[in-house]
């Protein structure tokens, strides 16, 4: 097991990587080292979730952030999650439920090893940011049973009607003031300093500005980025343990410079095999990716010249491209608004609106849904969303099914088949549109 990182490094040598990717890799490695060394260094560890994560707040208490979803993704990419999922099922967890949870439970049962090969420490605190996913609540009840540590519930109301009401915001701010912050003080032994929070929030906003610039660069033709497969790298620092840090600011400065360079050079996105050639298809993708065959999955797109120009998954840890930025002037309110605004906390009509806007603003050929077996928060309702976006935009949609970290639910032949059919459908749509366009050329 301990030789895995070395093997991974060997495999990585075949892959073309930008400086920003290498920088992120170093940041992640340093973070995992900090995590595994936390007990020896006298640092306290807080486990929490990506959507609705309060990284800036945790930093105020010198807590090291551990994100079980990121661990599950790492295990998916390193092809360990399949065994972990099966281990959890052997321990009595149903085959029907979320594989992120089972990957985490299985990892704990098999030594809880971090990507650096060292055991992850037991958390001192579970911050249950109950945002946009019901499973989170059960997941941390399960972890609480294991670790028997302080657990904080931060309940984020759902934007069913497409808006944040005063009652919703007040409720969240009160939870932060009366429950979350006092418990963070108690566990960490650090007194809350709101000015420290403001500093981190200001740093977050700087990084967010550059992230949005990068994501919106995909409106260009050719798009200099892939906003799904590449986008997953781009969101890494800001969705993970680095929002509010100088590292994140540096990372997004570097990333922006790289993307600007690609724009200046007229280049398309970088892929694991180098630059994408001709941009043939522009897609919007709804839903998370598959991580167990991430590179094979990506290849099915770039081999066909398909670029994802916008995706909902890159909004799951925060929606920034419609104007929201963390605001140091309203520190607790902005944390509340952030949590309530993450993609999976939005109502279905909002999701339809957002995806339709993406198809139109990014001049996409259509919407592709990658339906994830594990994630009902994303998946339940994706079929009517697909139809509604098709109706709104007049662009064809398509549907594939995989899973996040359970390799049993990734069927390459099936996915490839469906993608090829979809690309043909887009071709036919274009061919059908040409005479009409020519006929209507005067208009």
Partner 1 sequence: MAKCEEIVARCQALFEDLDFQAVRDWKDAAPGRKAIGYMPIYVPREIVHAAGMLPVGILGGGDQIEVIHGDAYYQSYICRIPRSTIELGLSGRLDFLDGMMFPSICDVIRNLSGMWQLMFPEVYVRYFDVPQNYADSVGGVFYANELAALRHDLEELGGMEITDEALRRSIAIYNENRQLVRRLYQLRAEAPWLVPASEAYLLLRAGMVLPVEDHSALLRDYLAAIELEDRPMRDNCRIVLTGVFCEQPPLPLVKSIELSGCYVVDDDFLLVTRWLTDDVPSEGDPIQNLAAAFLHKSMSTAAKYEPDLHEKGQHLVRAVRETGAEGVIFAAPSFCDPALLDRPMLQRVLADAGIPFIAFKYAENSGQMQPIREQAGTFADSIKLWSEA
Which residue number, 182 or 274, has a Cβ lying nearer to partner 1? 182
Which two three-digit tokens encode residue 178?
């009366």
The rounded distance, in Å, linking the Cα atoms of 270 and 263 is 12
Helix, strand, or coil here: 402? strand
Which residue number, 21 or 398, has a Cβ lying nearer to partner 1? 398
CA distances from 394 to 121, 168, 365 (A): 51, 36, 10
The rounded distance, in Å, linking the Cα atoms of 206 and 204 is 5
**Residue in 25, 110, 155, 183 binding partner 1, rule: CB under 8 A:** 155
**Residue in 380, 408, 424, 428 binding partner 1, rule: CB under 8 A:** 380
Does 161 contact partner 1 by CB under 8 A?
A: yes
Does 286 contact partner 1 by CB under 8 A?
A: no
Does 200 contact partner 1 by CB under 8 A?
A: no
Does 117 contact partner 1 by CB under 8 A?
A: no
The rounded distance, in Å, linking the Cα atoms of 159 and 351 is 11
| Backbone dihedral angles phi then psi of residue 367, each to the nearest 5 degrees | -110, 130
Give me the residues paired with residue 400 across strands.
370
Does 110 contact partner 1 by CB under 8 A?
A: no
Residue list 253-282, contact with partner 1 (CB under 8 A): none
Does 158 contact partner 1 by CB under 8 A?
A: yes
Helix, strand, or coil here: 47? strand
**Residue in 382, 404, 407, 415 binding partner 1, rule: CB under 8 A:** 382
Does 10 contact partner 1 by CB under 8 A?
A: no
Q: Cβ neighbours of residue 132 under 8 Å, at least 6 residues apart?
A: 51, 52, 156, 158, 316, 342, 343, 344, 345, 346, 377
**Residue in 139, 229, 242, 251 binding partner 1, rule: CB under 8 A:** 139
**Residue in 151, 260, 267, 357 binding partner 1, rule: CB under 8 A:** 151
Minimal distance in Å, beta carbon 351 to partner 1? 8
Which residue number, 119 or 384, has a Cβ lying nearer to partner 1? 384
Q: Omega before 222 cis (within 30°)?
A: yes
Which residue number, 77 or 180, has a Cβ lying nearer to partner 1? 180
The rounded distance, in Å, linking the Cα atoms of 18 and 236 is 14
Which residue number, 328 or 397, has a Cβ lying nearer to partner 1? 397
Which residue number, 81 or 129, has a Cβ lying nearer to partner 1? 129
* Pairing of β 366-372 and β 397-402: parallel
Does 415 contact partner 1 by CB under 8 A?
A: no
Sheet containing 150-155, strands listed edge to edge, beginning at the edge strand earlier in sequence: 63-66, 44-48, 125-130, 150-155
Binding interface with partner 1 (CB under 8 A): 91-94, 96-98, 101, 128, 130, 133-135, 137-139, 141-142, 144-145, 148, 151, 153, 155, 157-158, 160-161, 165, 167-168, 170-171, 174-175, 178-179, 347-349, 351-352, 371, 373, 376-377, 379-384, 388, 401
């Amino acid at each position: 097991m301990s030789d895995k990182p070395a093997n991974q490094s060997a495999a990585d040598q075949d892959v073309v990587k930008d400086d920003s990717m290498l920088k992120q890799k170093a940041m992640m490695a340093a973070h995992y080292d900090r995590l595994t060394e936390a007990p020896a260094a006298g640092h306290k560890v807080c486990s929490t979730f990506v959507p609705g994560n309060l990284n800036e707040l945790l930093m105020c208490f010198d807590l090291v952030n551990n994100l079980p979803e990121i661990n599950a993704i790492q295990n998916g990419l390193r092809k360990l999650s399949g065994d972990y999922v099966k281990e959890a099922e052997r321990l009595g967890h149903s085959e029907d439920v979320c594989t992120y949870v089972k990957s985490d439970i299985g990892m704990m049962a098999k030594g809880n090893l971090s990507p650096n090969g060292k055991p992850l420490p037991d958390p001192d605190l579970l911050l249950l940011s109950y945002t946009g996913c019901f499973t989170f609540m059960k997941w941390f009840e399960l972890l609480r049973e294991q670790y028997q540590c302080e657990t904080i519930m931060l309940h984020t109301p759902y934007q069913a009607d497409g808006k944040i009401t005063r009652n919703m915001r007040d409720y969240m701010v009160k939870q932060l003031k009366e429950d979350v912050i006092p418990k963070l003080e108690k566990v960490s032994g650090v007194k809350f300093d709101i000015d420290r929070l403001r500093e981190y929030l200001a740093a977050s906003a700087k990084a967010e500005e550059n992230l949005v610039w990068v994501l919106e660069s995909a409106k260009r033709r050719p798009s200099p980025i892939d906003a799904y497969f590449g986008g997953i790298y781009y969101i890494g620092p800001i969705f993970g343990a680095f929002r509010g840090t100088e590292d994140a600011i540096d990372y997004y400065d570097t990333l922006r410079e790289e993307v600007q360079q690609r724009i200046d050079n007229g280049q398309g996105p970088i892929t694991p095999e180098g630059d994408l050639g001709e941009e043939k298809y522009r897609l919007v993708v709804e839903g998370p990716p598959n991580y167990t065959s991430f590179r094979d999955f990506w290849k099915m797109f770039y081999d066909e010249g398909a670029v994802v120009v916008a995706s909902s998954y890159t909004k799951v840890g925060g929606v920034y491209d419609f104007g929201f930025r963390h605001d140091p002037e309203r520190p607790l309110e902005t944390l509340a608004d952030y949590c309530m605004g993450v993609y999976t906390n939005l109502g279905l009509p909002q999701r339809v609106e957002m995806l339709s806007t993406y198809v139109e603003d990014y001049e996409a050929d259509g919407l592709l849904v990658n339906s994830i077996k594990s994630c009902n928060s994303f998946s339940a309702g994706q079929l009517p969303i697909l139809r509604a976006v098709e109706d709104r935009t007049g662009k064809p949609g398509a549907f594939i099914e995989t899973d996040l970290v359970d390799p049993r639910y990734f069927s390459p032949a099936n996915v490839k088949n469906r993608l090829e059919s979809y690309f043909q459908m887009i071709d036919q749509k274009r061919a059908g549109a040409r005479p009409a366009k020519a006929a209507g050329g005067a208009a």
